[in-house]
Structure formats: C-alpha cells, structure tokens
Amino acid sequence: MEKNRYHLEKKKHDKEGLCFTNRVHHYQLLFTGETIFTRKKNSNKRKKQMATEISKILVIGGTGYIGKFVVDASAKAGHPTSVLVRESTVADPVKGKLVQSFKNSGVTLVYGDLNDHESLVNAIKQVDVVISTVGNMQIPDQTKIIAAIKEAGNVKRFFPSEFGVDVDRQNAVEPASSTFAGKVQIRRAIEAAGIPFTYVASGCFAGYFLPTMVQAGATAPPRDKVTILGDGSPKVIYNEEHDIGTYTIKAVDDPRTLNKILYIKPSKNTLSFNDLVSLWEKKIGKSLEKDYVPEEQVLKLIQESGFPINIFLAINHSIFVKGDLDNFEIEPSFGVEASELYPDVKYTTVEEYLDQFV
C-alpha cells in the first residue's frame, strides 16, 4: 500500500508540476521524486544582464565639433542619452537647430553650465557615464566636472575631452605643448580623484585634415603642387568623425577599456604623408610637384607666426614631423586599439574618404 501511495503521489506531483510550469513564465520546476528544485530561466537572466549593461550617458560639449558625432552615436546605440546645454545655446539660430535634431533623436536636454556646480551635480546624478567633448579653451574647466563627479558619487566612467594625440606620449613644441599639458593635468586630476576613466586618442579628424590635405589656405585637395612638412615619412592616423563617435560609445560599457587609453588606429587609416600623396595621385591620375619643408624651417615658422596659426603649425609639427601619433607601441598595461576590439565596425578608410574629392 505504501508503495502504491508513493506512485500515486509522484504522478500527482508530476501532473501538477507540468501545469504549474505552463502557468508560470519565470520559473522551471524540476522534479526528482518528492524533491523539487527551482531554477531561473537562463534566457530571462541574459535579458536582464543585457538591460543592465546599457549605461545612461551625459555628453558635456555635445554641440561642439566632435561632440555632435558622439551624441549621435550614443543615441543610435540605444543608450539613454543626455546633453548638457546652456539656454543661450538653444536660442542660438545655428546650434538651436542641432539641439532640435538631438531632441528628434530622443536625446534629453539638461540645462546647466560648467560654472554652475549644482546644475552639474544634478545632471551627473542622473547618469552612469560622463563624456566631455569641450573645446580646447575649456579643457582646464574640466576640473569642475571632476569635482561634480566626485560629489555625485555614482559615475562608473569618465571620458575627458581628448580625441587627438596621446598627450602622455608626444614631443610637441610651444605653443602646442602648453595645450597638451592642460590635457595631461586633467588626466592626473582624474586619476588622483580615483574616478574610473577612458582616454580616447583618435588621431586626426578626417574632416579637418583630408579635404585640403593640410595645405595652407586651400579649400580642396591639391591638383598641381603639394607642401609636405618634414620628409613625409612618419605614420599619421586619420579617422572619420562618425567612426570616432561609434568607437567611443562602444567603449562605454566595455571592461577592456576601463582605466585605459582607447587608440583608434585602424590599419587602413594609418599612413605616412608620402603615402597619402601617392594615394591621391593615383585617384586623380596625375603626379604632383612636391615641396618638402625641413623641420628647421617649420620651427622657424612656428616662432614667427601669431595666434592661432602658431598653434596649428606646432600641432602639425608634432603629428607630421615628429610622428607623435605612431612613434610608440601600444602596451596592454596602458592601452587598447579600437578596430581590434570591435572588428564588426565598418569604418571609413582614407581611400574611401578621398573619393568624394576626385
């Protein structure tokens, strides 16, 4: 009788268990005799993990040159995205249109100012990640962002405004060296404050350098003669701005980029100025006359030029003469390379970019 009663009760459990499993979406019931084990559905667990991985992002300086590309990439990637804006920016006839396009993309506008500590703290408390894309004149003001992040206490990653040369590994002369020194000071302040960070070293903006191929006073790439600073042999990196935004946002929730420098250095976009000229010559089917400017003459031009020409020349000296974008190896202890981390990103190559000017 006991044996029969056991079989009856076991069948009853099995039947009820089957019905219970069909009714409940979140659990599976596994029966072993009279012992019941519960297990969370793996698919739901994965969905929950994926949901928590999407960080809320605040962009400071989002209406600036590279900022708008970062905002666009963040919104397209599905991150809840906010942009810190001044009321005067919204009223501006040009930037107001950009701000409206942000809103149309689902971006939240947060009114505030770098000089208004309370507004900064309040904005930062609403997000997980802060990305600064402020211009060069506001680089020192990022200490105010650091102070606000410390007070808010909730930020899991800060991207300061960099997007160019790795300022810890460059040989710039004045006045560019002072500009880079400001970024170095911000790096050290972030590290001293114990704020998790990622520094983005994106090389040259394609939109700045390639349409004129760095020819003074030009509005298009050269067709007859090209001026080359130095001997044209150092490797230089050019990246299209949308790609810079995409790679930056890819790094936001990636533990591999935490407290590291993210170098955006795709192989097809790393080429010497001589290589660039050769590529352009093939596209237009014509050889250009080449005027090489010795380093001594470049340094003299920097000293003799006024602001802001001297800064541009000094930066170009760092990039094209000293080769500061590619004169070191990326060590795992301090850096990672974006196109290796994210091979799925279809970036615009220099060759493709130049096609529009042929």
- Residue where the block lists tokens 């004045």: 174
Flag the least confident range among 49-58, 220-229, 269-278, 343-352.
Answer: 49-58
CA distances from 10 to 1, 7, 22, 124 (A): 14, 5, 18, 57
In the residue annotation, 183 being an active-site residue is answered as yes
10: domain range? 2-46
In a domain, 356, yes or no: no
Q: What is the pLDDT of residue 49?
A: 42
Query: Does some domain include residue 41?
Result: yes
Q: How confident is the model at residue 53 (pLDDT cuts 50, 70, 90)?
A: confident
| 18 within domain boundaries | yes
Separation of CA 316 from chain center: 22
42 found inside a domain: yes
Instruction: Kindly state whether residue 8 falls inside one of the protein's structural domains.
Output: yes
Residue 88 lies in a domain: no
Give CA separation, 165 vs 169, 173, 203, 250, 261, in Å: 8, 14, 6, 20, 11
Of 48, 150, 183, 282, the catalytic one is 183
Give me the number of domains the chain comprises.
1
In a domain, 310, yes or no: no
- Asked whether residue 324 is assigned to any structural domain, the reply reads no
Cα–Cα dist 87/247, whole Å? 30
Q: What is the pLDDT of residues 142-177, one digit of tens each?
A: 999 999 999 999 999 999 999 999 999 999 999 999
